[in-house]
Amino acid sequence: MSDRILVLYGSYRSDRAGIRLADYIVQGLKDRGNDARLIDARAIGLPMLDRMYKEYAPGQAPQAMEDLAEQIRSADAFVFVTGEYNWGVQPGLKNLTDHFLEEWFWRPAAVASYSAGRLSGVRANLAWHGTLSEMGMVVIPSTVAVGPIAMTLDENGAPVGDAGRALDRAFSRFADDLAWWTAAAKHQRAQTPPPY
């Protein structure tokens, strides 16, 4: 049985380079037999956080929030694709993530970052580790960091040059690591109910 993996992306910019990495990861996971789906924060369009999903009475949350809550609950794992804004996380992805809490629990998460420069968004990558752990996910040790993104992936998300080949090598380990943790979490949830 394939794993259902949500790939979450949060840039709201009109000229989004990071979507290349999100598309690359979705395709790479599909090529490995997974049910990988892109969750694009801009396309979903949740408002700035006022009330979390759990703060609505049953059936009263906005439909986009209700639909996303169901997708999150039914996922086996998550990949967060993040750019770096002024040494921090993207507000669009953080806003989407913060609308939910218990829906994330007891599944692994992976972080892939990018930037236009050579630092590859690593400061945002690091910041996400603590955030995702606090939200009840196990963050896998492997990561992907891409930069400069325009020299690594073309506009269709295909690897280019030496940087693209390096990404392919890194992605293989990243996906193996995510698969291991996903299998471990699925097994544990099937054996023992979560403690809360």
| Backbone φ and ψ of 79, nearest 5° | -125, 125
176 falls within a domain: yes
Closest CA to 128 of 3, 1, 2, 9: 9
Answer whether residue 22 is part of any domain. Answer: yes
Structure token digits, residue 186: 């699925």
- What pLDDT shows up at residue 98? 98
Q: Is residue 11 part of a domain?
A: yes
Question: The dihedral of CA 163, 169, 170, 175: what is its sign?
Answer: positive
Q: pLDDT tens digits for 5-64?
A: 999 999 999 999 999 999 999 999 999 999 999 999 999 999 999 999 999 999 999 999
Domain range for 88 is: 4-191
Q: Which helix (H) or strand (E) holds 193?
A: none
What's 26's domain CATH number?
3.40.50.360
Is residue 196 assigned to a domain?
no
Say if 64 falls within a structural domain.
Answer: yes
Q: What is the DSSP string of 157-186?
A: S-B-HHHHHHHHHHHHHHHHHHHHHHHHHH
Question: Is the full-model pTM beyond 0.95?
Answer: yes
CA pair distance 193, 148, nearest whole angstrom: 43
Dump pLDDT digits (tens) for 109-122.
999 999 999 999 99
- In a domain, residue 162? The reply is yes
The total of structural domains in the chain comes to: 1
Would you say residue 187 lies in a domain? yes
In a domain, 148, yes or no: yes
Going by C-alpha positions, the residue among 170, 162, 126 that lies closest to residue 24 is 170
Read off the pLDDT of residues 122-166 as tens digits, 9 standing for 90 and up: 999 999 999 999 999 999 999 999 999 999 999 999 999 999 999
- Over residues 81-112, the pLDDT tens digits come to 999 999 999 999 999 999 999 999 999 999 99
- Strand 84-85 relative to strand 88-89, pairing: antiparallel
Burial label, 98 (beta-carbon count in 10 A; 0-12, 13-18, 19+)? middle
